[in-house]
């Protein structure tokens, strides 16, 4: 097949401020060869994992697709984990993997860190389902308010999805407006996904959709509908959308436009809060009106949070005239509150997060260099990255629509064959447990996998 080129043609509205991007996609040599290679990879995977296959079949009788978290599903079936420690996962068939997925950023601490295990033991000794308030809630809240520039007060939820839903609802209440401005390809939780295809599983807010890293599209939307827009919801770096960083000028101008229009700017820092102790907002110098959090800050427990200035959060305080209520049986569950506080105090200091950020930057450069000869690339920021089956610049999710998904599938299985676990879509989240030896192992596995795919006549070496 000839080299394929994806040209980004903007949807209705103004053209991107920096013009049209040309993204060159990696290619397969022959469709039949690629299809055969995928089928062979699936057969090889299944033959080596009979115990996982049996458990997957049994689970499918009571769980649709055999699981209850769609992102973990892959063909022919996901392996079942028997135990985990540090950076290692071991499945029920005895295969060991270095965990480069990091539970989609929730596993930043690695598996079974001693400080977390000790916090769990303390909770088990004194009780964990109280239906009352305990001081751990105040302790964790204080720690997080001290870390994030935009957060004077905070409330806890059970997930990042809930945090984003609550932040949107709070913004609509505060502004008296209804509409929510979001970006194409963004993911803010199970009920807030804005991919190319419409989904019936969507929180029923009235949305205005713009293009990421295209301030012109935002400016136009605010000019047309600004009096109806309550908030802009944005990740400083799109996580599930492909680890695509928001350009600093774009985010700074977004802040300015929101202020001028009386629109609340919500930073979804469920993933990017790991970029520093004060999250991406501290690193960028852009302060949002509301911040949402989740994932690793609960120490591996179910966790979410949203917060902002006291004047906005007063909506939940009857003593200050607030009229909003925020229920949730497990919002302040003792396990998350206690474990989260222990993790933040003992394991997530500035030194650890800065070092992880720097290691991630260096690692992504090495991965990108290994991918370049076959027309692939690595996008990301800090300790989060995604392997893309195309060369950029990649500025928004639409830039890689149309790439050959078989390449990602084959690379995913090739890396599993070599004992390296990442997301099927190429997403990688480094944990504090990942060692330099683990990084070297990843690079060796990647280079070997790419060499195999090229030698087998599946992947075409890049000509650019």
Q: What is the pLDDT of residues 284-317, one digit of tens each?
A: 999 999 999 999 999 999 999 999 999 999 999 9
Q: How far is CA 108 from the centre of its chain?
A: 12
Tell me the C-alpha distance between 276 and 287, whole Å: 14
**What value does the mean pLDDT take over residues 145-163?**
97
- What tens digit of pLDDT does each residue of 78-111 get? 999 999 999 999 999 999 999 999 999 999 999 9
Tell me the C-alpha distance between 186 and 192, whole Å: 8
Sheet holding 22-25, edge to edge: 4-7, 22-25, 390-391
Reply yes or no on whether the pLDDT at 4 is more than 80: no
3-state secondary structure at position 259: helix
* Confidence category of residue 163, pLDDT binned at 50, 70, 90: very high
Least confident of 338-342, 359-363, 456-460: 456-460
Q: Any idea what the Cα angle at residue 247 is, between residues 425 and 283, rounded to 5°?
A: 95
pLDDT at position 2: 29
DSSP secondary structure string for all residues of 181-218: EEETT-B-STT-B--SS--SSS----EEEE-TT-HHHH
**The domain defined by 136-346 carries CATH number 3.40.640.10:** yes
Cis (ω within 30 of 0) for the bond into 336? no
Strands 207-210, 22-25: parallel, antiparallel or unpaired by DSSP? unpaired
pLDDT at position 199: 85
Q: What is the DSSP letter of 229?
A: E
Q: How far is CA 259 from the centre of its chain?
A: 27
Spell out where 74-138 has E strands.
81-85, 88-91, 96-99
Answer whether 272's CB lies under 8 Å from 203's CB: no
pLDDT at position 197: 78
**What value does the mean pLDDT take over residues 25-43?**
92
pLDDT at position 25: 83
> Any alpha helices (H) in 70-214, and if so which ranges?
114-126, 135-147, 160-175
**What value does the mean pLDDT take over residues 230-257?**
98
* Confidence category of residue 171, pLDDT binned at 50, 70, 90: very high
Reply yes or no on whether the pLDDT at 225 is more than 60: yes
**What value does the mean pLDDT take over residues 22-44?**
90
Least confident of 15-19, 118-122, 399-403: 15-19
pLDDT at position 246: 98
Q: Which two tokens stand for residue 56?
A: 């997957």
Average pLDDT across the chain, whole number = 93
Answer whether 42's CB lies under 8 Å from 76's CB: yes
Say whether pTM exceeds 0.85: yes
Tell me the C-alpha distance between 307 and 258, whole Å: 18
pLDDT at position 11: 32
pLDDT > 90: percent of the chain = 90
Tell me the C-alpha distance between 428 and 92, whole Å: 23
Residue 355 dihedral angles phi and psi, to the nearest 5°: -65, -40
- What tens digit of pLDDT does each residue of 201-215 get? 999 999 999 999 999
Largest CA distance in the chain: 70
pLDDT at position 196: 81
Tell me the C-alpha distance between 296 and 83, whole Å: 19
- What tens digit of pLDDT does each residue of 134-148 get? 999 999 999 999 999
Q: Which two tokens stand for residue 229?
A: 């827009």
3-state secondary structure at position 155: strand
> Any alpha helices (H) in 226-328, and if so which ranges?
248-261, 279-284, 310-313
Match 């394929």 to its residue by tokens: 4
CB atoms within 10 A of CB 65: 14
CB atoms within 10 A of CB 224: 12
Reply yes or no on whether the pLDDT at 1 is more than 60: no
pLDDT at position 22: 66
Tell me the C-alpha distance between 272 and 58, whole Å: 37
Reply yes or no on whether the pLDDT at 18 is more than 50: no
- What tens digit of pLDDT does each residue of 356-387 get? 999 999 999 999 999 999 999 999 999 999 99
Tell me the C-alpha distance between 102 and 295, whole Å: 10
* Confidence category of residue 5, pLDDT binned at 50, 70, 90: very low
Q: Which two tokens stand for residue 308?
A: 């902002």
pLDDT at position 48: 98
Least confident of 149-153, 312-316, 458-462: 458-462
**Strand-pair partners of 390:** 25
* Higher per-residue confidence, 19 vs 331: 331
**What value does the mean pLDDT take over residues 251-277?**
98
**What value does the mean pLDDT take over residues 259-287?**
98
């Amino acid at each position: 097949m000839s080299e394929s080129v994806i040209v980004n043609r903007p949807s209705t509205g103004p053209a991107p401020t920096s013009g049209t991007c040309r993204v060159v996609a990696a290619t397969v040599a022959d469709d039949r060869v690629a299809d055969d290679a995928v089928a062979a990879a699936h057969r090889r995977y299944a033959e080596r994992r009979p115990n996982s296959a049996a458990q997957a079949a049994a689970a499918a009788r009571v769980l649709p697709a055999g699981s209850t978290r769609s992102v973990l599903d892959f063909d022919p079936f996901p392996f079942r984990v028997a135990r985990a420690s540090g950076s290692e996962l071991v499945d029920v068939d005895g295969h060991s993997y270095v965990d480069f997925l990091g539970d989609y950023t929730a596993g930043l601490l690695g598996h079974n860190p001693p400080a977390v295990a000790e916090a769990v033991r303390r909770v088990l000794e004194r009780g964990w389902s109280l239906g009352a308030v305990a001081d751990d809630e105040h302790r964790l809240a204080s720690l997080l308010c001290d870390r994030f520039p935009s957060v004077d007060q905070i409330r806890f939820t059970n997930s990042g999805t809930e945090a984003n839903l609550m932040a949107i609802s709070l913004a609509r209440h505060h502004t008296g407006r209804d509409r929510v401005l979001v970006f194409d390809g963004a993911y803010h939780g199970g009920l807030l996904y804005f991919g190319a295809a419409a989904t019936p599983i969507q929180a029923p807010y009235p949305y205005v959709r713009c293009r990421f890293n295209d301030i012109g599209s935002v400016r136009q939307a605010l000019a047309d509908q600004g009096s109806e827009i309550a908030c802009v919801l944005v990740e400083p770096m799109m996580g599930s959308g492909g680890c695509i960083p928001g350009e600093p000028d774009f985010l700074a101008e977004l802040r300015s436009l929101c202020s001028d229009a009386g629109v609340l700017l919500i930073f979804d820092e469920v993933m990017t809060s790991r970029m520093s102790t004060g999250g991406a907002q501290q690193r960028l110098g852009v302060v949002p009106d509301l911040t949402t959090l989740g994932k690793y800050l609960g120490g591996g427990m179910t966790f979410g949070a949203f917060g902002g200035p006291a004047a906005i959060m007063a909506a939940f305080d009857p003593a200050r005239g607030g009229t909003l209520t925020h229920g949730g049986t497990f919002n302040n569950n003792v396990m998350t509150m206690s474990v989260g506080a222990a993790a933040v105090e003992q394991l997530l200091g500035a030194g650890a997060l800065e070092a992880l950020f720097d290691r991630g930057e260096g690692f992504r450069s090495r991965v990108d260099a290994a991918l370049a000869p076959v027309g692939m690339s690595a996008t990301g920021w800090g300790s989060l990255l995604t392997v893309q089956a195309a060369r950029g610049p990649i500025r928004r999710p639409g830039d890689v629509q149309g790439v050959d998904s078989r390449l990602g599938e084959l690379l995913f299985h090739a890396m599993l064959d070599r004992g390296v676990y990442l997301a099927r879509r190429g997403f990688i989240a480094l944990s504090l447990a990942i060692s330099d030896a683990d990084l070297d192992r990843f690079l060796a596995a990647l280079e070997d996998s790419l060499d195999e795919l090229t030698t087998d006549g599946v992947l075409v070496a890049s000509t650019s």
